[in-house]
Amino acid sequence: MKLFERYYLCAALIFYIPAFADGNSRDTIQLHYSSGNPVVEVWIDNKGPFPFIFDTGNTGVVIDLKLAAELGLQTIGVETVSSPSNPVGFEMPVFGISSLRIGQTQLSLSEATGLDFSFMQRTENRPKGIIGPWDIQDGLVSIDNCAGILIIESSAELSPDSPGVHELVRQKSFPYPQFEITVAGQSGKAHIDTGSTAGTTLPLEWARKLSFSAPLDIAGTANMVGGGKTIWRAKLAGNVQILGVVLENPILHFIGGLPSINVGSSILSSGILTIDLTNDLIRFTSVKMNVDEGVLNCDVAERK
């Protein structure tokens, strides 16, 4: 049997799309939403569609154990998975798949990790899996939450000299590309996590070096792979700059054991997030910002 190792953090614009050279393949896919998470329809082994969270904080494919059983997928190995709530790790089955498609985009994947999705505590519209952009490999991926669409462009690129374009940095010690973020004048590394419904979440140790307008209090519990973690929150006495967007005195969240600053879907829900997978570049253009709460919102009905 194959052995794998992976780390999971969770599970959880002006309307401008540039023109590109001839020959670019453009796939526009409708997004749905489950508890604030963007969801796409996925076909596995020519069966489907099945609702999968489109999670930029995930690599590879994660599939609900019930769906894997319904599809008759064969176990080909075991994967050791760890998270902030379970850093030691635990084993999860790995299933073989023949094909996986999002819209008209075929992904070169041959395996999916099994997970019991009941930990999400959702009784309606529960997703059947998780998939992210990093396995698409090349081209542009744009998540337009205001229009409710995902756009995959196979041969397009961002220009590093264009306004609002930022560099993504890959590190062997962290599974996802990161970008520079500034919190009250202090620089750090952050990653985009559309699988999280929160705003800006930092490792708990950051709370010791920041100033707040009121003491930290408990906001709730984060449901993560391997168990729950306490979420702390406080209103920052200062600004946060994320991909060119400035949040003034926002409410921040903190979780012990996070390896990186996490920018969730509450920050991204008002615009177009574009990731250049070929050149490791990223751009976010927002439409509307609610400064008091430190989140961004479209003028659309509340997502569920």
Summarised one tens digit per residue, pLDDT across range 263-272 is 998 888 878 9
Residues 136 and 7 reside in one and the same domain: yes
Please state, as a whole number, how many other Cβ atoms lie within 10 Å of the Cβ of residue 176: 20
Residue 18 lies in a domain: no
- The domain tally of the chain equals 2
| Separation CA 243–CA 192 (nearest Å) | 10
Give the CATH number for residue 96.
2.40.70.10
Residues 110 and 6 reside in one and the same domain: yes
Residue 133 lies in a domain: yes
Residues 53 and 133 reside in one and the same domain: yes
How far CA 41 is from CA of 49, 110, 229, 240, in Å, comes to 5, 18, 30, 34
Residues 174 and 289 reside in one and the same domain: yes
194 burial level (CB within 10 Å; 0-12, 13-18, 19+)? buried
Residues 199 and 260 reside in one and the same domain: yes
Residues 149 and 185 reside in one and the same domain: no
Q: What is residue 56's predicted lDDT score, i.e. its pLDDT? A: 93
Residues 211 and 248 reside in one and the same domain: yes
Q: What is residue 122's predicted lDDT score, i.e. its pLDDT? A: 56
**pTM of the entire predicted model:** 0.84
178-237 pLDDT tens trace: 999 999 999 999 999 998 888 999 999 999 999 999 999 999 988 776 678 899 999 999
Q: What is residue 298's predicted lDDT score, i.e. its pLDDT? A: 59
Residue 49 lies in a domain: yes
Residue 288 has pLDDT above 60, yes or no: no
Range of the domain at 45: 2-12+27-153
